[in-house]
Amino acid sequence: MTEGNFVDYVKLQVSSGKGGKGSIHLHREKFITKGGPDGGDGGRGGHVILRANEQLWTLYSFKFKRFFAAGHGGDGSKNRSSGAQGEDIYIDVPIGTVIRNSDTNTILFEITEKGQEVILLEGGLGGRGNWHFKSSTRQTPRYAQPGIDGLTIPITLELKVLADVGLVGFPNAGKSTLLAALTSAKPKIADYEFTTLKPNLGIVEYRDYRSFVMADIPGIIEGASEGKGLGHYFLRHIERNSILLYLIPADTSDLKKEFSILQKELIKYNPELMDKQFIVVLSKSDLLDKELRLEYENEMKSIFKGIPHLIISSATQYHLTELKDLLWKQLNP
């Protein structure tokens, strides 16, 4: 998926349908001149329903359509015939989509499960026909209820990327290069910070036709949890990843400090991220000679006791097979 096609934030206007009018009708037929009221009820207006679609990975389609309206209910008619119900409108969204009321910024609900359907707005009820209002003292009521209007609200859709593995690291840590090396994704790669401005997704092919999804999240900087850099724009994508892969480049000045900053920013943003499984990987090992690589191996054993860790090079494919084995083992314990 190209960066230009990945859309994870859109605003829409949605409207449910108006209920149909109840009928004011008096029964008439040959030899029956005063048959009494028989006006039918109006049909309800259409609902606005959000539906999970596991084939979607982005909100890109909403770039071209921002207004959605359900059908109106039909009016009632004679012989107590009810009007047709308004046509419901289904809005397909990717799994992992958060729906907010744009006016209040409150979360209405989240789409998190395959096949999930949620009624966002109910259609207006149809009005009752005049036959409902007949009584002993009112034999021929000549009024009926109008249908209830539908509702219109602005909503915001936010997509939190749903991936098995999320790459976490400072800008220019080699995340996009690793994604390109492990998958068929073609992320933008360059030697400057914030090359990646939107998450990229790729499918990692494993043994025996098995696979898992990896997401390249835009780089973190210190203070990201307060909104610095790209801030909350990308941190929300990390919440839905099964495993976090901390990527630290071999040219870092302080391995332990860089890892601590990354972890601190995630936990400050959402303390629940502390419970996520993670792996620590030192990238760009092609910059190291054998002696330095050995020093880093010993340092990582000391710092990350009991934590899965590995030294790799995306450029030379060093330990990439071992990395896929480690990730698969963590995903399928």
Amino acid 183: pLDDT: 82
Q: pLDDT per residue over 17-48, tens digit each?
A: 999 999 998 887 777 667 789 999 999 999 99
Res. 6 pLDDT band, cuts 50 70 90: low
Q: Which residue has the tokens 């008439």?
A: 28
Q: pLDDT per residue over 140-177, tens digit each?
A: 888 899 999 999 999 999 887 767 898 888 887 888 88
Q: 261-273 in b/e burial notation, b at 16+ Cβ within 10 A?
A: bbbebbeebeeeb
Q: pLDDT per residue over 56-81, tens digit each?
A: 878 888 988 999 999 999 999 998 89
Amino acid 71: pLDDT: 97
| Residues composing the chain | 333
Residue type, 326: L
Q: What is the pTM of this model?
A: 0.68
Superfamily of domain 1-159: GTP1/OBG domain (2.70.210.12)
Delimiting residues of CATH 2.70.210.12 domain(s) in the chain: 1-159
Residue 233 scores a pLDDT above 60:
no
The tokens for 111 are: 């789409």
Delimiting residues of CATH 3.40.50.300 domain(s) in the chain: 165-331
Amino acid 13: pLDDT: 96
Superfamily of domain 165-331: P-loop containing nucleotide triphosphate hydrolases (3.40.50.300)
Q: What is the mean pLDDT of the chain?
A: 84
DSSP per residue, 125-143: PPPPPGGGG--SS-SS---
Amino acid 185: pLDDT: 57
